[in-house]
């Protein structure tokens, strides 16, 4: 058994790839797969576009700083990095509204220190780093017939770096709600 004191997360096969130990003693999973059946009327490219639009919305929304998103459309892979951690939830949106509000509301909040330069901000360890991959599932991955699997989309969200499992779970739920609906 190995232990890491840094925030990097190993692949799911490394974390939970054994039957010799009870699963409750193993580390939390680092991958979530979301299967969108072909009956939803979306092709892989349409789902990829929705994911990219949602992530770019986080990046541009209200001048949110500390969230970066890179999408490679030809590979259908995107990597996101958030220095602030949770920037997608209702709680985070409220926090941004309070920061933009009056000073009387800010008295209860903790004072926030500004980075001395942009370089210092970039050197901060991110609270959450993830990778999203879109693909067509194989029939063994999806428990569907080969025809149904060919019209379906498999979204894989991989947790690459961070310490807070709650942020990963929250993000996966947010992506699921944004993409499926």
Residue 4 lies in a domain: no
- Report the predicted TM-score, pTM, of the whole model to 2 decimal places: 0.73
CA distance 93 to 98: 9
Residue 110 lies in a domain: no
Residue 63 lies in a domain: yes
Residue 7 lies in a domain: no
Q: Which domain holds residue 137?
A: 12-99+117-180
Domain count, the chain: 1
CATH code where residue 161 lies: 3.30.310.80
**86-127 pLDDT tens trace:** 888 888 878 877 876 544 333 444 444 454 555 554 567 889
Residue 104 lies in a domain: no
Residue 79 lies in a domain: yes
């Amino acid at each position: 058994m190995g232990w890491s004191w840094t925030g990097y997360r190993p692949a799911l096969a490394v974390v939970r790839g054994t039957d010799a130990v009870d699963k409750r003693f193993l580390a939390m999973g680092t991958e979530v797969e979301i299967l969108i059946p072909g009956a939803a009327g979306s092709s892989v490219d349409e789902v990829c576009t929705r994911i990219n639009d949602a992530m770019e919305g986080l990046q541009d929304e209200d001048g949110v700083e500390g969230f970066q998103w890179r999408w490679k459309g030809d590979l259908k892979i995107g990597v996101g990095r958030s220095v602030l951690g949770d920037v997608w939830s209702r709680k985070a949106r409220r926090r941004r509204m309070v920061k933009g509000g009056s000073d009387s509301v800010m008295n209860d909040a903790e004072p926030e220190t500004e980075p001395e330069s942009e370089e210092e901000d970039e050197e901060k360890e991110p609270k959450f780093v993830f990778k999203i991959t879109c693909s067509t599932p194989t029939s063994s991955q999806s428990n569907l017939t080969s025809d149904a699997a060919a019209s379906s989309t498999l979204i894989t969200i991989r947790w690459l770096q961070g310490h807070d499992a709650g942020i990963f779970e929250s993000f996966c739920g947010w992506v699921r709600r944004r993409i499926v609906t």
